[in-house]
Amino acid sequence: MDKLNFLNNFSDAVCALSKDNEVIFKNSNFINEFSDYTSFEKFKKRFNFNLCFLSYENIKKLTPLDILIKSKENFHTICSYQKPNEDYNFYYINKYIIDNYTVIVFKDVTSSYSYDSLKVKYDSLINKYNEVKELTDKYSKLQEHAQSQVLKMGIINRISLVIRETNDIETVLSSALNEIHNFTGSFKTYFSMKEKNSFRIKYVIPSDDTQINILTQYDNDTLSEIKNKNISVSVCKKEYMNSEEFLSDGVNRVIIPVYNKNKLLGIIVVLTKQRFIPEENKEVLQSISVHLSSSIIQAGLISQLNKKNKKLEKTLNELKETQIQLINSEKMASVGQLVSGVAHEINTPLAAINSNNKMIEKILTKNVLDKKHTDILKELNLIDIEATGRISNIVKSLKRFVRLDEAQFQSADINNEINLTLKLLEHEFKDDITVVKEFSDLPKITCSVNMLNQVFMNLIINSCHSIREKGIKGIITIKTMVKNDNLIVKIIDNGNGIPLSNQNKIFNVGFTTKKTGIGTGLGLSISKKIVELHKGTITFSSKQSVGTEFTVTIPNKI
């Protein structure tokens, strides 16, 4: 088939068929392209329609090459060809009739076809990508907004927690400024209170005492922004107009006004190197400003209330103190007047008895009476001497007890003072109460003897009353000792004891469990004040129906 050799010049795979549709020629490209070729029957079955321009009723039964051969004219189509390794190639097939030969040209269009297919897929993917990107952008914006809201709520919640836990304005300011300082990446943050036409720095982060109370002034544009309740963001050379220092390049100054309704309370100033402050961040700063405003007003009101409460409490305490002192002074004055009167009344007959006794003694020395009368007079004289001695001792004890002629504070032996008190209270003990003294050697202390005797008297009398209420023969034990440089006096009785419900009230002014006319409710209250005046303490332990123990502790050195 030499006349078909020209087909070797084709760059595509070419084969020629005879009238009987037998392959009589294959160019070298065909042999290379279809190296798996064994027979034309098997070969044509590997082709499937991809695009066909003819219509046959039995097109489903025929292969593209069958249709091509049956065609009476030139024919072209695009088919897919399955290789043995199951890969597919696409061929643009042209059929020509030349001198009773059928020439079939197979042009490999796999790359072009794949490109078109991939381009369609690519275009589809680009459209999907754009749709996804649009959704992603929306999601990102929503996510950024959500993160901003979470950040905002986190900061506000932390500040609100501090506000709920404390009313201290410095603590609240510290918390708010720290949050702003970290949130804005600031290198300096401070709060300034409004003061006439200027602002005075009250709190700075990082802490710097040299900055506190500095008066700051700002330009008209900044003041206008503050007046309009706007957050001012500006690059400036100075922190404030009257500053002598210049800021480094690229520093942003953010000023956040803090208002309570229409009243300007102050400003928060932030110095940061961040070049841009997003709107979301400004919203967070504005929210902090609102919370801080409420806190400042609340803290101010509570501070004023606390000051008034402390002043009222101090006044009340002073009134109570004055009341007790007045009661105590009045009581002691009454006792003093009473003792003074008693002493005067006793001294008059005492002087007469002493005078009579001296006259009797003179008569007796003259021996003008018989022995019987002399013995009687001597006996009477001895009785008078004992009586006058006892009266004299009582007067001296009373005078010493109230110290009418001694200074208020003086050196004293507490053991002696307790003995003096017991001597004056002998009539309280009678036959049903025994006093047991367990005294230790005590150093003298400087004290108000008069007042301490009053404390001991009150406690001993209370013990007597408690024992008689119980209806027993009682024992009052008085112990004195020194421990840890403190003088200690314990007064213990086996009386009725103090009911548990009354134990937290016994030192209250006016509280008493005694019948009307017997107790005033002042004894223990006054005693507590007297002991506290000596920088000491008075405590007790008591069990109902068992007894009570009072302990008075006074420092050796007052």
Decide if 144 is inside a domain: no
**pLDDT, average across residues 168-178:** 78
For residue 294, pLDDT over 90 is answered with: no
Q: Is residue 21 part of a domain?
A: yes
The pLDDT-based confidence of 234 (bands split at 50, 70, 90) is confident
468-501 pLDDT tens trace: 888 898 999 999 999 988 999 999 999 999 888 8
| Each residue's pLDDT tens digit, 382-435 | 777 766 766 766 666 666 555 544 446 788 899 999 998 888 788 788 788 999
Residue 61 lies in a domain: yes
CA distance 51 to 205: 79
Q: Are residues 446 and 540 in the same domain?
A: yes
Name, of 50-64, 163-177, 304-318, the range with top average pLDDT: 304-318
Q: 22-31 — which CB contacts under 8 Å span 24+ positions?
A: 24/101, 25/1, 30/106
356 pLDDT more than 70: no
For residue 407, the model assigns a pLDDT of 45
Q: What is the pLDDT of residue 61?
A: 67
pLDDT at residue number 405: 45
User: Do 400 and 411 share a structural domain?
Assistant: no
- Provide the pLDDT confidence category of residue 538 given band limits of 50, 70 and 90: very high
Q: Above 50 in pLDDT, residue 328?
A: yes
CB 209 within 8 A of CB 195: no
- Comparing 443 with 100, which gets the higher pLDDT? 443
Mean pLDDT of the residues in the chain: 80
* 533 domain residue, yes or no: yes
* Statement to judge: residues 172 and 271 lie in one domain: yes
Q: β-strands 474-483, 433-438: how paired?
A: parallel
Closest Cα to residue 472, out of 375, 382, 547?
547
User: Quick check: is 221 in a domain?
Assistant: yes
Task: From residue 34, give the alpha-carbon distance in Å to each of 12, 108, 151, 357.
Answer: 12, 11, 69, 170
Residue 39 CB-density burial (10 A; 0-12 exposed, 13-18 middle, 19+ buried): exposed
Lowest mean pLDDT among 114-123, 208-217, 333-342: 333-342
Report the Cα 509 to chain-centroid distance in Å: 38
Q: What is the pLDDT of residue 399?
A: 60
- Domain harbouring 250, CATH code: 3.30.450.40
pLDDT of residue 248: 79
> Is 529 part of any domain?
yes
Instruction: Please tell me the least confidently modeled range out of 178-187, 385-394, 523-532.
Output: 385-394
Total number of domains in the chain: 4
Same domain assignment for residues 315 and 260: no
Residue 141 within any structural domain of the chain: no
Indicate whether 73 and 188 sit together in one domain.
no
pLDDT bucket at 337, cuts 50 / 70 / 90 = very low
Task: Verify that 336 and 376 share a domain, yes or no.
Answer: yes
Q: Are residues 380 and 421 in the same domain?
A: no
The three-state secondary structure class of 235 is strand
Q: Which residue from 460, 513, 520 is spatially nearest to 330, judged by alpha carbons?
A: 520
Look up the domain containing 388 and give its range: 303-405
Q: Which of 366, 381, 405 is the last residue of a domain?
A: 405
User: Per the domain annotation, does 148 fall within a domain?
Assistant: no
* CATH number of the domain within which 58 lies: 3.30.450.20
pTM of the predicted model as reported, rounded to 2 decimal places: 0.38
Q: Are residues 240 and 321 in the same domain?
A: no
pLDDT in tens, 7-31: 888 999 999 998 888 999 999 999 9
Q: What is the pLDDT of residues 238-253, one digit of tens each?
A: 888 888 888 877 788 8
Amino acid occupying residue 169: I
Ordered DSSP codes for 382-402: HHHHHHHHHHHHHHHHHHHHH
User: Per-residue confidence at 369, pLDDT binned at 50, 70, 90?
Assistant: low
Predicted local distance difference test score (pLDDT) of residue 323: 60
Residues 98 and 6 in one domain: yes
Is-cis flag, bond preceding 206, omega within 30?
yes
pLDDT exceeds cutoff 60 at 333: no
Rounded percentage of the chain residues whose pLDDT exceeds 90? 16
Q: Record the tokens describing residue 498, joined without a space.
A: 């103090």
Question: Both 92 and 185 in a single domain?
Answer: no
Same domain, 463 and 547: yes
Do 458 and 513 lie in a common domain?
A: yes
Burial of 91 (0-12, 13-18, 19+ CB in 10 A): buried
Q: Which residues neighbour 500 within 8 Å (Cβ) at sequence distance 6 or greater? A: 544
Question: What count of other Cβ atoms lies within 10 Å of the Cβ of residue 139?
Answer: 12
pLDDT at 349: 64
Domain-ending residue, one of 405, 427, 454 = 405
CA distances from 411 to 342, 407, 408, 557 (A): 27, 10, 10, 11
Distance CA 239, CA 271 (A): 8
The pLDDT value given to residue 168: 72
Q: How many residues does the chain have?
A: 558
HSE at residue 538, side-chain half, CA atoms within 13 A, is 21
Lowest mean per-residue pLDDT among 58-67, 133-142, 225-234, 511-520 = 511-520
Mean pLDDT of 120-139: 87
Of 383, 405, 427, which marks where a domain is finished? 405
Q: State mean pLDDT over 318-332.
A: 61
Identify the pLDDT of residue 376: 67
